[in-house]
């Protein structure tokens, strides 16, 4: 089966991008990372893509007078490259409803909390302040609402008594690096469908213990 053409959108260090690049290098993986788009010139994500021989596009959001214009340029780059699926990986730009509707069901994001808890920024700090005992990460389809949309997969991480923000963030990030490639694999293989606002994983492809893994890594 032909591999699905995936674009990863990143703004920073790109460690999740790297986990997707590494996973996609396996011969049987159902997706190829065909394009990396970055809105921040000089971001390390661009170097990671170049090192892997992946095409890159730098679209600096500061060059656009309105979000719609930036999103139109982004859309043109993606369609020009024949992209079928988008992975947001630390992409720090709000996307317009027009863009998210255009890619509905074909764009996923990874968020560092167990959604719907702690959407938005500073998730680890907020999880510690709330005293939750389980924290983690979520891969979800992107909709017009921030950190919303059908949940594809989650990984849980135990919050330890002596955790600080950095220690907790590091363990969640390690879980992200396992979860995101697995979620992309499921979607690219056609094992996920959206029904009534929920993402349903085909029973044959679902592996609950591998997706929800308290204490990860």
Residue nearest ligand GRF, Cβ-based: 90
Tell me, residue by residue from 157 to 196, as one string, x for binding to ligand GRF by CB under 6 A and - for no binding: ----------------x--x--------------------
Q: What pairing do the DSSP bridges indicate for beta strands 134-141 and 151-158?
A: antiparallel
Q: Please, are residues 133 and 159 in contact by the beta-carbon 8 Å criterion?
A: yes
DSSP state of 62: G
Other CB atoms within 10 Å distance of the CB of residue 132: 15
13 contributes a contact to ligand GRF by CB under 6 A: yes
Q: Please, are residues 107 and 142 in contact by the beta-carbon 8 Å criterion?
A: yes
Q: 63: helix, coil or strand?
A: helix
Distance CA 174, CA 81 (A): 30
Q: How many helices (H) and strands (E) does the chain have?
A: 7, 9
15 contributes a contact to ligand GRF by CB under 6 A: yes
Shortest distance (Å) from residue 194 CB to ligand GRF: 21
Among 4, 6, 7, 16, binds ligand GRF (CB under 6 A): 16
Closest CA to 7 of 38, 47, 50, 52: 38
Active-site amino acid positions: 111
Among 30, 112, 136, 181, binds ligand GRF (CB under 6 A): 112
Q: Which is nearer to ligand GRF, 30 or 90 (CB)?
A: 90
What part of residues 36-95 is at the interface with ligand GRF (CB under 6 A)? 89-90
Among 24, 110, 157, 188, binds ligand GRF (CB under 6 A): 110
Contact positions toward ligand GRF, by CB under 6 A? 10, 12-16, 89-90, 110-112, 137, 173, 176
């Amino acid at each position: 089966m032909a591999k699905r053409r995936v674009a990863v959108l990143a703004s920073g260090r790109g460690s999740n991008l790297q986990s997707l690049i590494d996973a996609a290098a396996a011969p049987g993986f159902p997706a190829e990372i065909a394009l990396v788009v970055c809105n921040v010139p000089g971001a390390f994500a661009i170097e990671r893509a170049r090192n892997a021989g992946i095409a890159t596009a730098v679209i600096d959001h500061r060059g656009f007078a309105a979000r719609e214009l930036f999103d139109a340029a982004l859309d043109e780059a993606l369609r020009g490259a024949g992209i079928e699926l988008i992975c947001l990986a630390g992409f720090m730009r709000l996307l317009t409803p027009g863009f998210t509707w255009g890619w509905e069901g074909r764009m996923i994001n990874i968020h560092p909390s167990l959604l719907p808890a702690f959407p938005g920024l500073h998730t680890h700090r907020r999880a510690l302040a709330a005293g939750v005992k389980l924290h983690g990460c979520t891969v979800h389809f992107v909709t017009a609402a921030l950190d919303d949309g059908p949940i594809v997969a989650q990984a849980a991480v135990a919050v330890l008594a002596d955790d600080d923000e950095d220690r907790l963030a590091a363990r969640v990030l390690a879980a992200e690096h396992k979860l995101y490639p697995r979620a992309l694999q499921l979607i690219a293989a056609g094992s996920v469908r959206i029904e009534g606002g929920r993402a349903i994983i085909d029973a044959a492809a679902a592996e609950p213990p591998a997706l929800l893994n308290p204490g990860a890594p």
